[in-house]
Amino acid sequence: MTTAPHSGKGLSRRNLFSLGGAAALTIAGGSSAALAGGLRGAGNVDWPGLRKALDGSLYLPGDPAYAQAALPYNSALGPRTPAAIAMVNGRTDIKRCLTRAAGHGIPIASRSGGHSYAGYSTPDGGLVIDVSRANKITFKDDGTVQIGAGARLSEVYAALAARGRALPGGSCPSVGIAGLTLGGGIGVLSRPYGLTCDHLTSAHVVTAGGELLRADAKRNADLFWALRGGGGGQGGVVTDLTFATVAAPTVTVFSLTFPTPATPAALSAWSQWIETAPKAISSVCHINSGTATDPSPRNRIVGTFVGTPSKLPPHLSTLIAAVGTDPTARTVKSYTYLGAMQHFAGKNTGREKFRAASRVLKGTLSTAQAQQVTDLMAARRGLVLLLDSLGGEVADLSPTDTAFVHRKALASVQIYTSSATGDPAVLAVQKALTPLTGPGSYVNYLNAGQNDWGSAYWGKNLTRLRKVVKKYDPDGVLDFAQNARNA
């Protein structure tokens, strides 16, 4: 399962944050003419037989629906040509895909929202098992909610809010719940409520061998551990996830912009402020590269506060005092839970073009270190650093309690550009940041060109995760370049 970045107008990921998610598989059905054109020879898979066996749809090249279904969310990745895309209706279809396509020499990938940063969920020449139709949301008598792996975050948040409940998660409305959760699930409410995966109580998984398993704290506990932060697309295909929820809170959203010359001070002050801020506050610090006419990096600090709105201003005053200058822009507004998530989503304009990578900030930045970051961004154009706060409830678990290893970090740092050719610049900034941040990276921000990806994504959890993945997928049926088995 993988995730990808999203932003948009206002406080959505295109301009401010980045998340993502991809964690399902799809197979596409093709016309007789297309099959006659040699597609049946792709790995010697019996595509007509698979199409006939599915309750859902199979798209093959030449089918009317194939071209749109084959597009990756990230348009910077260019066109993809999977051998087939299976739009599955549920667990039985997933099993049919795996048992019929495995062992035929083609890549098989799962896809839910399709936001894989590196496009791993839509492999060329492979079978995509797309679970986007498996999006049913069912509330249980015990207060939990079972969510189909293909449900989008916008659907999840709306359904929860209608019941007065909430789940912490990302800001991009079209991200799939499965991909977000499997990579951990950093979001705008992480500090008061933890990661999305911290609320997972169980999941159903079709293993690479076609076996349906339930994973929870007692059954297949090793798999349950891996599902919480190990990343998508590994070991099996998740069909649905069950979560414990919290009461939907009032969410106060704030935004502060400081004068451009104060950007280093704002970054350093923010890092020290968020380290000691109450759990009720989550925040993202944005450092934007300069322009051709003004190379000075700009700043913006946005965030959320869960609690009585009148209690937030003193905390913002503490941050402002630490920066040492008044903000040039300041907004504070309270929303319902659903209203806040819609605010951060901005305008969802469909597919996006971007390049991104990440680091994980271990601790606070001194004024001198913040100046180094600012100088680095002054030499760039069209880049933004998005520092998403961790800590709070995220840090209450041990780094080994789940596969998400960055429990004690201060923040994730996403390096993001909307330039389709910006990958070299993104990786150069990632390398330059490493002495300041540490070598960690967030698995939901995959970058295919990152050399240290195994240790960066999983750290000391890598050996255990690799063992779990090989146990449930011994033959590498769901293999891809940055699968933990290859690290």
Determine the distance from the C-alpha atom of residue 352 to the mean position of all C-alpha atoms in its chain, rounded to a whole number.
Answer: 15
The residue among 130, 157, 191 that closes a domain is 130
Strands 127-130 and 108-111: parallel
Other beta carbons within 10 Å of 138: 12
CA separation for the pair 358, 268 (Å, rounded): 19
User: What integer pLDDT is reported at residue 43 of this predicted model?
Assistant: 64
Closest-CA residue to 180 (of 360, 395, 393, 445): 445
Shared domain check, 435 and 317: yes
Compute the Cα dihedral for 100, 102, 104, 105 and give only its sign.
Answer: positive
Note whether residue 8 is domain-resident.
no
The torsion defined by the Cα of 10, 11, 16 and 21, in degrees rounded to 10, comes to -120
Shared-domain flag, residues 266 and 200: no
In this structure, what CATH number is given to the domain that contains residue 120?
A: 3.30.43.10
146 and 175 fall within a common domain = yes
Question: Domain boundary at 115, 130, 145, which?
Answer: 130
Single residue among 130, 158, 180 that ends a domain in this structure? 130
Same domain membership, residue 290 and residue 239: no
Q: Are 356 and 420 contained in the same domain? A: yes
Element spanning 437, H or E: helix 423-437
4 falls within a domain: no
Both tokens assigned to 421: 């050719």
Number of H-type helices and E-type strands within the chain:
15, 18
Q: Is residue 123 part of a domain?
A: yes
Domains in the chain, number: 3
Domain of residue 229, CATH code: 3.30.465.10
On whether both 381 and 468 belong to a single domain, the answer is: no
DSSP 127-179: EEEE-TT---EEE-TTSEEEEETT-BHHHHHHHHHHTTEE----S-TTSBHHH
- Is 81 a domain residue? yes
Based on the fold, state whether residues 202 and 275 are members of the same structural domain: no
85 and 150 within one domain: no
Tokens of 67: 């071209």
- Are 192 and 319 contained in the same domain? no
Q: Which helix (H) or strand (E) holds 66?
A: helix 66-69
The pLDDT of residue 15: 40
Pairing of strands 127-130, 84-87: parallel
**Quick one: 232 and 243 in the same domain?**
yes
Whether residues 154 and 93 fall in one domain: no
Residue 280, token pair as written in the block:
């009720």
β pairing state of 329-335 and 298-306: unpaired
Cα gap 259→177, rounded to integer Å: 38
pTM of the predicted protein model:
0.92
Start-to-end CA distance of the chain, whole Å, equals: 16
318 and 445, same domain (yes or no)? yes
> In which domain, by residue range, is 162 found?
137-248+461-473
What CATH number did the domain enclosing 374 receive? 3.40.462.20
Task: Give whole-number Cα distances, 246 to 179, 186, 318, 364, in Å.
Answer: 21, 16, 29, 30
Q: Evaluate whether residue 25 is within a structural domain.
A: no
Burial of 142 (0-12, 13-18, 19+ CB in 10 A): exposed
Q: CA-CA distance, 77 to 119, in Å (whole number)?
A: 7
Q: Mean pLDDT for each 10-residue chunk of the chain (487 residues)?
A: 31 36 30 33 83 98 97 94 97 97 96 95 97 97 96 98 97 96 98 98 97 98 98 96 98 98 98 98 97 93 97 98 98 98 86 96 98 96 97 98 98 97 97 98 97 98 98 97 97
